[in-house]
Amino acid sequence: MKKLYIIRHAKSSRKDISLDDFERPLNKRGRKDAPLMGSKLKEKKVKPDIILSSPALRAKTTAEIIAKEIKFAKEIKFDKDIYESGVSTLHSILTKIADKNKVAFLFGHNPGLSMLVENYTHFNENIPTCGVVEIEFDCESWRDISADNAKLLDFDYPKKDKENGSIVH
């Protein structure tokens, strides 16, 4: 079994229009939501073996905040190919994860992440900022992950507790 947590970066600021998209920082809400989602993952006792992230500032900061919350002691792997990539590139990155890693976190951006989740699970909800999608793959190698062996386990996001009902449990 392999488990993947797909995590969209927290809310970013568009205040400084002179900044390149890659350099946009988290805004006030993003700096609040990232630790919240990290604490939710910690409560669930989620322990990733590897964290992969886009190096764009908003994704990098989200990954670092959540890693700190869950006490992830290893180095986060930043991969420029995660930034602005589509399903095939993201899938290719995931299939190269070493098989010793059972649980992986992938921090990145939409629309790529939402499309990746839909590709694996046919779940076509938009992943909101700082949203976390948990997928389990019934296989022993990351090379073998596919829609055929994927199961959507959970979908959580910062405003979910304030909304009525849940989408998946």
**Spatial contact of 53 and 63, defined as CB atoms under 8 Å apart:** yes
- The C-alpha angle with vertex 162 and arms to 156 and 167, in degrees rounded to 5, equals 40
* Cα-based angle 142, 77, 71 (whole degrees, multiple of 5): 95
Report pLDDT digits (tens) over 16-55.
888 888 999 999 999 999 999 999 999 999 999 999 999 9
Residue 96 has pLDDT above 70, yes or no: yes
Burial letters for 29-59: b for 16+ Cβ neighbours within 10 Å, e otherwise? bbbebbbbbbebbeeeebebbbbbbbbbbbb
Which is nearest to 77 in space by CA: 57, 88, 63, 90?
63
Q: Is residue 142's pLDDT more than 70?
A: yes
Is-contact 14 24, C-beta < 8 A? yes
Strand partners, 136: 3, 151
Helix, strand, or coil here: 31? helix
What pLDDT, on the 0 to 100 scale, is given for residue 17? 82
CATH class of the structural domain 2-11+24-161: alpha beta
pLDDT number for residue 163: 58
Query: What number is the average pLDDT over the span 151-160?
Result: 94
- pLDDT of residue 151 exceeding 80, the answer is yes
Using a pLDDT cut of 70, give the percent of the chain over it: 95
The model's confidence at residue 169, banded by pLDDT at 50, 70 and 90, is very low
Q: Are 87 and 59 in contact (CB under 8 A)?
A: no
